[in-house]
């Protein structure tokens, strides 16, 4: 099954609410290839609204592919870094 969306706001909100921005950022950067990045999310966790990058769920994974001409800006928006932030 394939789906598309123009907005990553729900994913951004979940990542912020769970306080996993730096983890998400590392995953997005690790999966980056050119103008796209690919990450896998645990399907069981996603079913209850939780973002979990631990792949290998018995029910399978959800593969998220993000493509953009300005992928760095998209990653910054969805999972901005919390490292070295000034108070």
State the pLDDT confidence band at 4, using cuts at 50, 70 and 90.
confident
Q: What is the DSSP string of 2-49?
A: ----S--HHHHHHHHHTT-HHHHHHHHHHTEETTEEEEEEEHHHHHTT
φ/ψ of 60, rounded to 5, equals 95, 175
Q: Which residues of 57-69 are buried (b: 16+ CB within 10 A; e: fewer)?
A: beeebbebebeee
So where are the chain's domains?
A: 9-78
Q: What is the pTM of this model?
A: 0.86
pLDDT at position 42 is: 93
Asked if 80 contacts 73 with a C-beta cutoff of 8 angstroms, the reply is no
Segment 31-78, tens digit of pLDDT: 999 999 999 999 989 999 999 998 787 888 999 999 999 999 999 999
CATH architecture of 9-78: 2-Layer Sandwich (3.30)
């Amino acid at each position: 099954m394939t789906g598309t969306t123009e907005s990553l706001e729900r994913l951004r909100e979940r990542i912020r609410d769970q306080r996993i921005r730096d983890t998400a950022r590392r995953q997005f950067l690790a999966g980056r290839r050119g103008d796209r990045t690919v990450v896998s999310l645990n399907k069981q966790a996603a079913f209850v609204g939780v973002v979990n990058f631990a792949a290998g769920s018995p029910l399978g994974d959800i593969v998220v592919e993000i493509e953009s001409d300005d992928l760095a800006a998209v990653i910054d928006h969805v999972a901005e870094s919390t490292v070295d932030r000034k108070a």
